[in-house]
């Protein structure tokens, strides 16, 4: 929010300096972001008069001007090339040493075509104040000689910009800022009253409301107006806050948007169809706004229509079709009250940012709907002439009146400052709160219309719970406490936020709570495990190209971005493997791909039809580094399975509880991949070679293997009492078995059967060999299994080993039909 010091004086009578005002604004929560004084850039420029002008003896387009510019510059020569330089003209003079902002130069004495020049005669463009011109600025004959130009032009007017929090819609008006400053001890707030303008005829336009998000609308016709350029004082004020003056009628609406925080709009009556303006729902149609852009409206958007169609996007921007121009003679002035949430949703969806939207979505003063129209009518009549009609209205002004109670002792218990009750009441009264009832320990105040941020009562109770009984009980307590907190905040900020003592939070426990969640701890563990296995971590965007995403399965159209940051980042990724594959391709294309250069992993989010998930994804491609006695080789699916198994083991998932099924996602090779499950339904991860079709589409050559661990699906391990590990004093014994298995027998079924043969003695079971062909029956294969036996109380004897071997053989035969090779 920008405002100039001279505009502030319209509402506030003060003698404080700009520095004092800035300090007080910061102290009451209206943070000053910048202060800019145009006069500082114009230091050195002076008003002057050309005493005599004649042609340069050596240049037809130059003139020698004898200039008077006040003390020290009574009679000097300036060489000027402006075609309008002439004797008797009052001008702007820049003496040597003056910095010219429009040209980015500093004036120096010198000679031009052999003639001395002791300064420069300037145009407004060269001062950075106007558009391109054909000559120097011409000042009125009444302009004094030798006065600082910034003072003469009334440009010595600092402009301050303050940050506004979302709850302070009242501070988006200069009067609201003046009210806060007056309450904080800076000057006195001037009274603001506007007279009711009597209408002379029935309005040719009437209101109709057919949208629930517009509660009240008023307006009137002013006929016989004469539009044109606004007076200098109005243009200066609008320029000071960053607005470009357009015309008298438009500038009046912009003036009150900043002055009172009351957005208005003017329609050209001659461009409207019919005699009714209706606030209603938009159809699915295109609307051309005053900014010249076309917007596609939806049925949730609120618009103002006539018989011809949409004429305004309510509360945000008017339409080009009914906009006023220099030929406008009759106007309809609109002032309405629109729902803040509806304005915010429409503005956000259409990406339209206007001063009107900024105020409506933060809440405007409902009491100004009609009085704001009256004030605008007076200014339009003064600047443009015209005859006003009676006011037409529709809807009802909502009941904004409410009360809030402050218990004085809460100022200390909540705010930490013992503020006298009289001082607290006086502070709130200066802000516009009126005392309704005063007791020794508390006071009840009527909340002013412009402070819609102060809790309104029943609404808050309904937000707490949907249970009617609980809501009824909360209605008498929660809103009261919320409103009381708002009052405490107002008193404290006027007293001085710097005076609030710093109090440390109470210590809840001697031992600090964990700084990370279990899922975050698991992600950190996975990061260490993957790095220890020779993989390099990457961090990619959660957005990928839609063409890449569909290579890794079906992607929801609802997760397609409407406004992506780049054309190739228009889809939420279904898996981090999309990013890893593209990164691997770039590495391989640059001749990289040895060891960690071709082994990448990422821990990050992915998105599917069920929502967002966290995955650990890894990819291996290229060749391993050559070592003595070992040639470089490509990664295999067993490498990917080992990566996944190592991660699951580190997370405490018992390997014995896992099984592998051949139903990996479609972007894997169908015969060289698998899914790891715990039980029949819970899928914990997948591994295997990338499908050749997927690899070719991504430009990858050679064998590329991948794994994925669904980190947020891993069940939390059950809490166990910490016991020292039971270490046996006896050495483990290893025995190898070779089973002849049929074509339908899975190796994991054999391993599970061996493990179940003697759960107390058998410590570990591993598959170490798979053999097919030779003398084996067709379709059969030999599975080599290593069994680790760990005796606890006594060493194993030959008899015991023989009995165990028979138990293993019998268990496998019963579970799978596989027999022991003899």
Point out the annotated binding site for Mg(2+): 453, 486, 489-490
Known binding-site residues equal 453, 486, 489-490
Please choose, from the candidates 144, 308, 166, 174, the residue with its C-alpha nearest in 3D space to the C-alpha of residue 254.
174
Please answer whether residues 555 and 571 qualify as being in contact, where contact means their C-beta atoms are separated by less than 8 angstroms: yes
Q: What is the DSSP letter of 506?
A: P
**The token pair that represents 336 in the structure block:** 């309405």
Burial 663-702 (b: 16+ CB within 10 A, else e): ebbebbbeebbbbbbbeeeeebbbbbbbbeebbeebebee
Please choose, from the candidates 734, 737, 790, 786, the residue with its C-alpha nearest in 3D space to the C-alpha of residue 762.
790
SS3 sequence of 291-353: CCCEEECCCCCEEEEECCEEEEECCCEEECCCCCCCCCCEEEEEEEEECHHHHHHHHHHHCCC
What are the CA-CA distances from residue 63 to residues 54, 98, 121, 233 (Å)? 5, 21, 11, 34
Please answer whether residues 334 and 219 qualify as being in contact, where contact means their C-beta atoms are separated by less than 8 angstroms: yes
Distance (Å, whole) CA 12 – CA 187: 6
**The token pair that represents 757 in the structure block:** 């043969």
Distance (Å, whole) CA 814 – CA 760: 20
Sign of CA dihedral 566, 572, 576, 581: negative
Sign of CA dihedral 386, 389, 394, 399: positive
HSE at residue 74, side-chain half, CA atoms within 13 A, is: 2
**The token pair that represents 821 in the structure block:** 């090779």
Please choose, from the candidates 355, 405, 25, the residue with its C-alpha nearest in 3D space to the C-alpha of residue 179.
25
Please choose, from the candidates 326, 324, 294, the residue with its C-alpha nearest in 3D space to the C-alpha of residue 310.
294
What are the CA-CA distances from residue 696 to residues 75, 504, 551, 573, 699 (Å)? 84, 61, 11, 19, 5
The SS3 call for residue 482 is helix
**The token pair that represents 798 in the structure block:** 């030959």
Q: What is the DSSP string of 719-767?
A: P---------SSPPEEEEEEEEE-TT--HHHHHHHHHHH-TTTEEEEEE
Please answer whether residues 571 and 549 qualify as being in contact, where contact means their C-beta atoms are separated by less than 8 angstroms: yes
């Amino acid at each position: 929010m920008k405002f100039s010091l001279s505009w502030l004086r319209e509402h506030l009578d003060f003698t404080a300096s700009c520095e004092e005002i800035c300090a007080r604004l910061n102290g009451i929560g209206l943070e000053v972001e910048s202060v800019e004084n145009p006069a500082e850039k114009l230091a050195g420029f002076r008003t002057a008069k050309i005493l005599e002008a004649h042609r340069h003896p050596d240049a037809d387009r130059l003139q020698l001007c004898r200039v008077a510019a006040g003390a020290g510059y009574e009679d000097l020569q300036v060489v000027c090339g402006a075609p309008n330089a002439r004797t008797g003209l009052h001008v702007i003079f820049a003496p040597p040493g003056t910095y010219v902002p429009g040209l980015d130069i500093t004036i120096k004495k010198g000679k031009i075509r052999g003639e001395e020049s002791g300064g420069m005669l300037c145009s407004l463009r060269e001062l950075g104040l106007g558009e391109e011109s054909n000559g120097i600025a011409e000042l009125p004959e009444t302009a004094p000689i030798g006065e600082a130009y910034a003072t003469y032009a009334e440009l010595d007017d600092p402009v301050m910009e303050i940050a506004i929090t979302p709850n302070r819609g009242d501070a988006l008006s200069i009067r609201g800022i003046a009210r806060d400053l007056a309450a904080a001890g800076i000057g006195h707030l001037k009274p603001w009253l506007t007279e009711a303008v009597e209408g002379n005829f029935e309005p040719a336009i009437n209101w109709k409301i057919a949208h629930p998000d517009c509660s009240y609308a008023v307006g009137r016709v002013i006929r016989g107006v004469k539009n044109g350029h606004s007076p200098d004082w109005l243009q200066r004020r609008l320029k000071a806050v960053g607005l470009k003056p357009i015309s008298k009628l438009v500038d009046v609406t912009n003036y009150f948007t900043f002055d009172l925080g009351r957005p208005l709009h003017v329609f050209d009556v001659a461009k409207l169809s019919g005699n009714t303006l209706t606030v209603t729902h938009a159809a699915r149609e295109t609307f051309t706004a005053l900014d010249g852009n076309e917007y596609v409206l939806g049925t949730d958007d609120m618009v103002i229509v006539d018989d011809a169609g949409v004429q305004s996007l309510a509360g945000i921007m008017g339409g080009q079709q009914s906009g006023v121009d220099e030929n406008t003679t009759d106007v309809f002035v609109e002032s309405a009250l629109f729902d803040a949430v509806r304005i915010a949703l429409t503005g956000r969806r259409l990406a339209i940012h206007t001063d009107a939207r900024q105020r409506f979505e933060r809440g405007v003063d409902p009491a100004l709907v009609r009085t704001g129209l009256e004030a605008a009518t007076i200014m339009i009549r003064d600047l443009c002439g015209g005859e006003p009609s009676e006011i037409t209205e529709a809807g009802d002004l909502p009941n904004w009146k409410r009360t809030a109670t402050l218990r004085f002792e809460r100022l200390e218990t909540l705010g930490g400052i013992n503020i006298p009750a009289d001082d607290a009441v006086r502070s709130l009264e200066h802000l516009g709160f009126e005392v309704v009832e005063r007791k020794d320990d508390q006071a009840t105040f009527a909340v002013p219309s412009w402070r819609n941020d102060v809790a309104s009562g029943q609404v808050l109770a309904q937000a707490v719970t949907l249970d009617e009984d609980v809501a009824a009980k909360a209605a008498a307590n929660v809103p009261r406490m919320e409103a009381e907190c708002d009052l405490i905040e107002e008193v404290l900020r006027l007293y001085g936020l710097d005076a609030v003592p710093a109090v440390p939070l109470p210590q809840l426990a001697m031992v600090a709570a964990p700084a990370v969640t279990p899922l975050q701890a698991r992600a950190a563990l996975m990061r260490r495990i993957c790095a220890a296995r020779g993989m390099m971590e990457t961090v990619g965007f959660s957005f990928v190209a839609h063409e890449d995403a569909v290579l890794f399965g079906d992607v929801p159209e609802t997760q397609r971005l409407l406004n992506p940051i780049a054309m190739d980042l228009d889809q939420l990724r279904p898996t981090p493997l999309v990013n890893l594959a593209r990164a691997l391709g770039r590495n391989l294309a640059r001749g990289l791909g040895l060891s960690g250069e071709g082994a990448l992993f990422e821990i990050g989010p992915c998105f599917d039809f069920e929502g967002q998930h966290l995955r650990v994804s890894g990819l291996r491609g290229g060749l391993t580094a050559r070592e003595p006695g070992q040639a470089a080789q490509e990664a295999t699916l067993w490498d990917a399975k080992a990566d996944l198994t190592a991660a699951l083991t580190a997370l405490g998932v018992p390997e014995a509880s896992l099984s592998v099924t051949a139903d990996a996602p479609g972007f894997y090779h169908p015969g060289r991949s698998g899914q790891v499950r715990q039980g029949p339904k819970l899928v914990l991860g997948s591994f295997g070679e990338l499908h050749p079709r997927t690899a070719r589409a991504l430009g990858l050559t050679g064998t590329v293997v991948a794994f994925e661990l669904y980190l947020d699906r891993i069940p939390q391990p059950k809490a166990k009492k910490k016991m020292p590990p039971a270490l046996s004093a006896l050495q483990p014994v290893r025995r190898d078995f070779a089973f002849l298995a049929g074509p339908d027998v899975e190796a994991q079924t054999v391993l599970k059967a061996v493990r179940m043969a003697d759960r107390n003695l058998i410590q570990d079971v591993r598959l170490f060999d798979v053999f097919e062909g030779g003398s084996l029956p067709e379709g059969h294969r030999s599975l080599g299994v290593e069994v680790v036996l760990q005796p606890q109380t006594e060493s194993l004897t030959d008899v015991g080993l023989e009995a165990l071997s028979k138990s293993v053989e019998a268990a496998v035969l019963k579970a799978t039909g596989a027999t022991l090779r003899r």
